Amino acid sequence: MTVFSNMRGGVELADEAGSSESGADKTNIICHMFEDMMRFIQEGITVFYGADAGVHIISDCGCRLLGRTREELMGVPAEERPKKWGFYQKDGVTPALAADLPFMRSIASGEIILNEEWLIKRGDGELRMFSFNSAPMMDADRKIAGAVSGWRDITEQKKTQDTLRRNEYELRTLIDSTPDIIIRIGKDMRYVFVNPAYERITGIPKEQFMGKTNAELGMAREISTRWDEEIRKAFEAGRESGIEFDFPGLFGKRFFWGRIIPEYDKTGTVESALVIARDITERKRAEEQIRYISFHDKITGLYNRAYFEEELRRLDTERSLPICIIMGDVNNLKLVNDAFGHNEGDKLLIALSGVLNVCCRKEDIIARWGGDEFSVILPGTDMETAQAICARIKRVSGTSKGMLVKPSIALGVAVKSKADKNLFRVIREAEERMYDNKLAESASNREMVIDSLIEEVSDRTNDMKMHIARCSDILPIFGKVLKLSDAQIHDIKLLIRLHDIGKVSVPSGILHKSGRLTFEEWEIIKRHSETSYRIAMTFSETARVAEEILSHAERWDGGGYPRGLKEKQIPYIVRVFSVIDVYDVITNVRPYGRALSYDEAVQEMRHNAGKQFDPEIVDAFIACGAGKPGKNKQ
């Protein structure tokens, strides 16, 4: 039979040897069927036949897909088809070669081509992507007589594929680069998938995760049990749920919060669970820090008053009786803050908080009640035990070292032994006893502070206590010559004792320096008189000479410090003290000079009369020989 096109664009089949009437009828039926098929089939179909590979059949859909008429497509010579039919290479700019077209290759070599993609410019100029299939057509002698080619427009499919591919790439990039954990768990609680974030956190390669359970991977039993329970709930209920968990990773314990999402198969059965979790370690730490700050004192680390009062309400029950309350007031905090700065004051508070922690029990609740006050709740504690704890606190604080002023605290204790007693009234009782004890201990506390500071300065200078003693020996003789009153003698004694106490704030390297002081070092030395003044002002018994202590380094000619007072602007007892003080200093060994003999010292004093000293007082001192060796104390 021969295949040819008719005027309607269909096909007619004719038997080459002729046919009977019944054969012609059959052929007509087939032709009509083939013609209808070419009209309604929703795919491009083309039959190429003959030595010139001419187009013999093309489906209506093929014309529509190419946007061209049958006449435009059927009469085009083979070499012009790429341009006329709109075949382009993948760049969409360069026309294809005729020999490269799929049906031409099938005719030329018998090649069968499946799903080959080609870019075609339709008649309206739009570029579309087509998928071509092509196969050779054989004649009765099994020789290639033509080709059959079918094609379909896959432009939208390609766009969809590209979108899916891009989405898949973006999803993969997101999964691979996100810091969040992404895990898929099967119904047997074994890992199906883990993302790189989980590998980084655990330090376990994903290959080791696959097909393993948490227990098999060595996760702590309590963690893996809770984890498995939550995931099983998702399988059973088929609903999303939240989970917060923690586990030790490569970089320490980490905290996570995430969602467990059930995944369904085609039958609607949950086949796996997806866990997406975010590292909330920093948030948890921030929350803990906020919680800590809310209930703890920033300086000492002890509980604060807010927490203390919450605990009072919680423990105010009959089963906690008896409850003792200790109230403590830090001694000398104002002195330390004023004289040495708030950093030193903070050190004192920290030292005392350490004492309280050492002396109290684990179940006791210790808090910083206020600026210089501490409080302790002792649940289930009788008065005798509480007083023993107070005694231990006093004893341990007295042995503390490394502070300019030794830690000291006044304590008061009260007990609630009956349920109907108001616990805040117990606090008030403890406070009253604390203030009573503070008042009773004030004198001994003052002496303790002064002695400890003098001891500290003496340790640095190696001579302060001896200097005080020598000046105190000279004073009675000289005081008698000057007809000083008992009150004046008493005040000068205080001046002798306290004038250099502020040197406790001067670094030892400056005090011991034998060479010339730098300007900065001299400025530090000069500030010691102000420190001594602030220390003296702390106690009522020494505040009376605080102004004199501040002025002890002033000079008769106005060249002293810190205020540059001159002549009789300088208090009288200071002028007397200056002569005694300097005489003793220059007649004893100093880091910066040798000790002068009595005669040399007298000459030096005369030389500085009217400059450093009140000349009348110098004359009286020399005349009475108060500092002369062998002169008995009177």
Given a cut of 50, is residue 4 above it in pLDDT? no
Distance CA 476, CA 471 (A): 10
Q: If you average pLDDT over residues 299-321, what whole number do you get?
A: 92
Q: Identify which of 145-149, 403-407, 523-527, 612-616 has the greatest average pLDDT.
A: 612-616
Q: If you average pLDDT over residues 77-86, what whole number do you get?
A: 86
Given a cut of 90, is residue 135 above it in pLDDT? yes
In the prediction, which pLDDT does 591 show? 62
Q: Which domains can be identified in the chain, with CATH numbers?
A: 2-155 (3.30.450.20), 178-284 (3.30.450.20), 299-440 (3.30.70.270), 447-624 (1.10.3210.10)
| 22 touches 47 (CB < 8 A) | no
In the prediction, which pLDDT does 448 show? 85
Nearest to 321 by CA among 420, 466, 391, 236: 420
For the chain, helix, strand, coil in percent to 5 are 50, 20, 30
In the prediction, which pLDDT does 116 show? 92
Q: Which residues, 6 or more positions from 252, have their beta carbon under 8 angstroms from its beta carbon?
A: none
pLDDT per residue as tens digits for the range 543-591 = 999 999 999 999 999 999 999 999 999 999 999 999 999 999 888 876 6
Beta partners for 55?
48
In the prediction, which pLDDT does 435 show? 94
In the prediction, which pLDDT does 1 show? 38
75 to 55, 69, 408, 438, 476: CA distances (angstroms) = 7, 11, 115, 120, 142
Beta partners for 373?
329
Distance CA 580, CA 624 (A): 13
Alpha helices in 303-362 (DSSP H): 305-315, 333-340, 342-359
The structure tokens 């205080």 sit at: 494
| 525 touches 517 (CB < 8 A) | yes
| 79 touches 100 (CB < 8 A) | no
At 310, the pLDDT band (50, 70, 90 cuts) reads very high
**DSSP 3-state of 77:** coil
Cis peptide before 322 (omega within 30 of 0): yes
The better pLDDT of the pair 155, 2 is held by 155
Distance CA 501, CA 447 (A): 13
Vertex 446 angle, CA 442 and 452, to 5°: 140
Structure tokens at 113: 């081509």
**Backbone phi, psi, residue 332, to 5°:** 75, 15
Residues in the chain: 634
What one-character DSSP code corresponds to residue 267?
Answer: T
Alpha helices in 125-213 (DSSP H): 155-177, 196-202, 206-209
In the prediction, which pLDDT does 634 show? 44
At 269, the pLDDT band (50, 70, 90 cuts) reads confident
At 23, the pLDDT band (50, 70, 90 cuts) reads low
Cis peptide before 562 (omega within 30 of 0): yes
Alpha helices in 551-597 (DSSP H): 572-586
Given a cut of 50, is residue 378 above it in pLDDT? yes
In the prediction, which pLDDT does 233 show? 87
At 30, the pLDDT band (50, 70, 90 cuts) reads low
CA dihedral 223, 225, 226, 229 (to 10 degrees): 150
Structure tokens at 248: 């030790």
CA atoms within 13 A on the CB side of 491: 19
Given a cut of 70, is residue 12 above it in pLDDT? no
Pairing of strands 270-279, 144-153: unpaired
Q: If you average pLDDT over residues 149-159, what whole number do you get?
A: 91
Nearest to 433 by CA among 472, 386, 479: 386
| 498 touches 532 (CB < 8 A) | yes
In the prediction, which pLDDT does 258 show? 87
Q: What percent of the chain has pLDDT over 90?
A: 39
**DSSP 3-state of 375:** strand
Distance CA 549, CA 621 (A): 21
pLDDT per residue as tens digits for the range 400-432 = 777 778 899 999 999 999 988 998 999 999 999
Distance CA 474, CA 333 (A): 35
